[in-house]
Amino acid sequence: MDTIVGIRFKPAGKIYDFNCGSFVLKTGDHVIVETENGLGFGVVAIPPSQIEKKEGTPPLKKIYRPATENDFCQLKKNSETETKALEFCQQCIKELNLHMNLFHTESNFDASKITFFFTADGRVDFRKLVKMLVKEFRTKIEMRQVGIRNQAKMCGGVGRCGRELCCAAFMTKFDPVSIRMAKKQGLSLNPTKISGVCGRLMCCLTFENDAYEKRGTQHKRKGPKNQ
C-alpha cells in the first residue's frame, strides 16, 4: 500500500499525486516536493489516502518535506525577481519592436529558470530577446506563447456576472464551447453578450449544456402532444 496526497501548485491548477511517505499532512499544508524541474512549492489539496500499488506502475515522486519559514522567504524573493523580470522584458520587447503581449513571469522555486508568458497573433522571433534576458538574470529562460483564454486564467478578473472568472477560480481545463450551446439554452446570440473578458465564448455555457442536451433528447422521444 502507498500513501498518496494531492498537491496543487497554482490556484485552480491541476492536482498532482505524490507519495506522502511518512509525513502526516492535512489539507492546506504547504510542502516542498520533487518535480521534473527540481524542487517545487505546493499546497495539499487532497488529504492523504492509501491505495494499492499496481504492478508495472511507475513510482510517484515524493514529498520532500513540509515547507519552512525559509521556503516562504524564498517565495517572496522569487516574487520580487518575477516583478523585475516582467518590467525588464517589457522594456526589451519595446526596444526590439516585437509584436507580442507579455503578461506574466514565473520563476521556479529554486530560481533555476524564469518562464515568460505572452500572447501574439503569430510566431515571434525572440532569439535576441532571450539573449538579453539570459545576460541580465544569468539563469535559464523559457518563452511560452499561450492562448487568450490561458491569459485570462492566469491574470484573473471579474466576469459580467460580477464574480471572479470561473477559469481563475476553479476550472482546471478548458472544454470546447460553441454558439450551439447558447442557442440551446435560449440565450442571446449577440457575441458581446455571451463572450467573456477574453473575447471568447463564456466557459459557463458548458456547465449546464448536458442538462439541456438531455432535456432535448427526452422531448424528441416523447414527440408533440396529440391535439
Domains, the chain, in order of start with CATH, read 2-67 (no CATH), 73-146 (3.30.300.20), 150-218 (no CATH)
Residue 143's φ and ψ, nearest 5 degrees, are -105, 125
SS3 46: strand
Tell me: the pLDDT tens digits for 30-54?
999 988 878 899 999 999 998 877 7
Each residue of 151-183: pLDDT tens digit? 999 989 999 889 999 999 888 889 899 999 999
Can you list the pairs that 18-25 forms with residues at least 24 positions away whose Cβ atoms lie under 8 Å? 18/60, 18/61, 18/62, 18/63, 19/59, 19/60, 19/61, 19/62, 19/63, 20/48, 20/63, 21/62, 21/63, 23/63, 23/65, 23/66, 24/48, 25/63, 25/66
Q: Are 109 and 78 in contact (CB under 8 A)?
A: yes
Given this model, what pLDDT does residue 59 score?
Answer: 83
pLDDT tens per residue, range 99-110: 999 999 999 999
CA distance 130 to 224: 65
pLDDT value at residue 214: 80
Percentage helix, strand, coil, to 5, in the chain? 35, 25, 40
Question: In sequence order, which residues have a C-beta less than 8 Å from that of residue 183 and are 6 or more positions away?
Answer: 189
Phi, psi of 106 (to 5 degrees): -145, 125
Q: Model confidence at 138, in pLDDT bands (50, 70, 90)?
A: very high
Strand order in the sheet with 101-107: 101-107, 113-119, 140-145
Gap between the terminal Cα atoms of the chain: 65
Give pairs for 123-127: CB < 8 Å, separation 24+: 124/98, 124/99, 124/100, 125/98, 126/98, 126/100
Residue 89 has pLDDT above 90, yes or no: yes
Could you tell me the three cell numbers for 219? Answer: 422531448
- Please give the C-alpha separations between residue 3 and each of 9, 21, 34, 48, 57, in angstroms, as whole numbers: 19, 6, 16, 6, 15
How many whole angstroms separate alpha carbon 218 and alpha carbon 104? 47
